[in-house]
Amino acid sequence: ARDHMVGQFPDLFEIGMDDSGDAPSPRVQVRDGVDPDEASKTVRARLQMGDGDTFDLSDEASELAVVNRFKMQLAKQRQQMLASIVLMGI
- Mean pLDDT per 10-residue section of the chain, whose length is 90 residues: 88 85 81 88 76 71 84 89 85
Q: What is the pLDDT of residues 61-79, one digit of tens each?
A: 888 888 888 888 889 989 9
Instruction: Looking at 9-59, list the stretches that DSSP marks H as alpha helix, in order from N- to C-terminal side.
Output: 36-47
What is the biggest distance separating any 2 CA atoms in the chain, rounded to whole angstroms? Answer: 50
Task: Give pLDDT, residue 90.
Answer: 61
Give the Cα separation of 88 and 43 in Å (integer): 33
Domain ranges of the chain: 2-88
Quick one: how far is CA 69 from the chain centroid? 7
Q: What are phi and psi of 29, to 5 degrees?
A: -130, 150
The pTM (predicted TM-score) of the whole model is 0.68
Establish how many alpha carbons lie within 13 A of residue 20's alpha carbon, considering only the half-sphere containing its beta carbon.
7
